[in-house]
């Protein structure tokens, strides 16, 4: 039975490209591995897949009991494919915080505090002296450019930078030109409904006893989202009511200005006020210099919740 390699729900470019690339590495090592995905491909990822002419992983919303699974780009249960608890998790390759990891048996874990899972995977190829095919190099590069927002995110490390430069050579692309085109393809609201905007690139988190959803949309101009703020917060109320969240936050991240407007609905607003030391009695706060959910949004919320 083929081992499934899968990224998180509501997959981003790293989750898709890391799954494809890690399955390719496993195959190059003589193992039977298949990339799968547990969600729709976003526009940015589709641009990368089309550009390098790679098929999307097979869509699977659930894994069967006993299925061997490798998780890439996540480890938190709430972000994982359904059925994982009854499947056999054998390995994790990731660059996120550990959010309550429990496994039935011992497993392989490869995590590093770098900007992108695909950086770790590129280095695994090189450490094993396995050549990275051109199309896989292109996908790994795409993921690094996406996760680090063209190196601008504070999560970006020298290791991401070095890997991206080498991958761009293998993929034979002009790094900046390609990355800008890819980010542009994924940026903005397009034809999304307010509810879809509220759930863009969303991930569930627990902050203390509060269930929260933190979404992120990248834009070249925040006005196109902020002009719809009333409709978006109304959609957030619906999502809270239906899915049992206490709080929904949408990071509207301006990739040119390198700042985020955090639009939110729910309670306690004091959690947001404490975390970001701002008046959060409205439905939006401006956070200059903030681009990373993982480094600049989740940690202050976790800290603030611990003091509740
Ligand atoms: Mn990632």
Q: Are 68 and 167 contained in the same domain?
A: yes
Q: Which residue has the higher pLDDT, 157 or 77?
A: 157
Whether the predicted pLDDT of 305 surpasses 90: yes
Contact 71, 110 (CB under 8 A): no
Specify the pLDDT at position 274. 98
Q: Are 165 and 280 contained in the same domain?
A: no
Q: How far is CA 130 from the centre of its chain?
A: 26
Last residue of a domain, one of 163, 185, 207: 185
pLDDT band at 99 (very low <50, low <70, confident <90, very high): confident
Q: Are 126 and 225 contained in the same domain?
A: no
CA of 116 relative to ligand 1 center, distance in Å: 5
Contact 31, 3 (CB under 8 A): yes
Tokens coding 41: 């491909």
Q: Are 59 and 175 contained in the same domain?
A: yes
What is the average pLDDT across 224-250?
A: 97
pLDDT band at 153 (very low <50, low <70, confident <90, very high): very high
CA of 26 relative to ligand 1 center, distance in Å: 19
Contact 22, 93 (CB under 8 A): yes
Q: Are 30 and 129 contained in the same domain?
A: yes
Specify the pLDDT at position 226. 97
Domain containing residue 81:
3-185
Q: Are 123 and 160 contained in the same domain?
A: yes
Specify the pLDDT at position 22. 98
- Whole-model pTM: value is 0.90
3-state helix, strand, coil in the chain (%, to 5): 40, 20, 35
Cα-based torsion angle of the residue sequence 31, 56, 168, 119 in order, rounded to the nearest 10 degrees: -60
The rounded distance, in Å, linking the Cα atoms of 98 and 117 is 14
CA of 155 relative to ligand 1 center, distance in Å: 10
Specify the pLDDT at position 308. 86
pLDDT band at 2 (very low <50, low <70, confident <90, very high): very high
Q: How many domains does the chain have?
A: 2
pLDDT band at 100 (very low <50, low <70, confident <90, very high): confident
Q: Are 11 and 131 contained in the same domain?
A: yes
SS3 of residue 67 by DSSP:
coil
Specify the pLDDT at position 43. 94
Contact 239, 248 (CB under 8 A): yes
Specify the pLDDT at position 190. 87
**Pairing mode, if any, of strands 68-72 and 3-6?**
parallel
SS3 of residue 84 by DSSP:
helix
**Pairing mode, if any, of strands 68-72 and 33-37?**
unpaired
Q: Are 16 and 139 contained in the same domain?
A: yes
Instruction: Give alpha helix (H) positions in the chain.
Output: 13-28, 43-51, 117-127, 134-147, 158-171, 175-186, 194-198, 223-226, 229-243, 269-276, 298-306
Tokens coding 266: 């729910």
pLDDT band at 135 (very low <50, low <70, confident <90, very high): very high
Q: Which CATH number fits the domain that encloses residue 55?
A: 3.90.1640.10
Q: Are 301 and 219 contained in the same domain?
A: yes
Q: Are 165 and 33 contained in the same domain?
A: yes
Q: Are 37 and 85 contained in the same domain?
A: yes
Q: Are 66 and 199 contained in the same domain?
A: no
CA of 265 relative to ligand 1 center, distance in Å: 26
Whether the predicted pLDDT of 102 surpasses 90: no
Last residue of a domain, one of 185, 211, 240: 185
pLDDT band at 50 (very low <50, low <70, confident <90, very high): very high
CA of 69 relative to ligand 1 center, distance in Å: 18
Q: Which CATH number fits the domain that encloses residue 265?
A: 3.10.310.20
CA of 281 relative to ligand 1 center, distance in Å: 32
The rounded distance, in Å, linking the Cα atoms of 288 and 183 is 20
Tokens coding 296: 């600049």
Last residue of a domain, one of 185, 217, 235: 185
The tens digit of pLDDT for each residue in 239-275 reads 999 999 999 999 999 998 999 999 999 999 999 999 9
């Amino acid at each position: 039975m083929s081992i499934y390699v899968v990224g998180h729900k509501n997959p981003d470019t790293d989750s898709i490209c890391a799954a494809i690339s890690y399955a390719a590495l496993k195959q190059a090592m003589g193992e039977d591995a298949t990339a799968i995905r547990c969600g729709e491909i976003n526009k940015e990822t589709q641009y990368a897949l089309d550009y390098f002419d790679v098929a999307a992983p097979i869509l699977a919303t659930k894994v069967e009991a006993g299925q061997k699974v490798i998780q890439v780009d996540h480890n938190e249960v709430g972000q994982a494919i359904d059925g994982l608890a009854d499947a056999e998790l054998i390995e994790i390759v990731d660059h996120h915080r550990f959010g309550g990891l429990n496994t039935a048996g011992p497993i392989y874990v490869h995590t590093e505090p770098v900007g992108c899972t695909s950086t770790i995977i590129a280095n695994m190829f090189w450490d094993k002296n396995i050549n990275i095919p051109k199309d896989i190099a292109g996908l790994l590069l795409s993921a690094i450019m996406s996760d680090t927002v063209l190196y601008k995110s504070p999560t970006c490390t020298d290791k991401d930078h070095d890997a991206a430069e080498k991958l761009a050579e293998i993929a034979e692309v002009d790094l900046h030109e390609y990355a800008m085109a890819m980010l542009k393809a994924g940026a903005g609201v397009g034809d999304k409904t307010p509810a879809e905007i509220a759930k863009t690139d969303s991930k569930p988190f627990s902050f203390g006893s509060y269930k929260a959803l933190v979404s992120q949309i990248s834009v070249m101009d925040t006005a196109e989202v902020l002009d719809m703020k009333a409709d978006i917060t109304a959609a957030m109320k619906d999502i809270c009511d239906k899915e049992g969240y206490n709080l929904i936050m949408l990071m509207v991240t301006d990739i040119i200005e390198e700042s985020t407007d955090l639009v939110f609905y729910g309670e306690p607003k004091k959690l947001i006020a404490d975390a970001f030391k701002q008046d959060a009695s409205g439905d939006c706060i401006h956070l200059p210099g903030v681009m990373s959910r993982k480094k600049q949004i989740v940690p202050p919320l976790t800290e603030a919740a611990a003091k509740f």
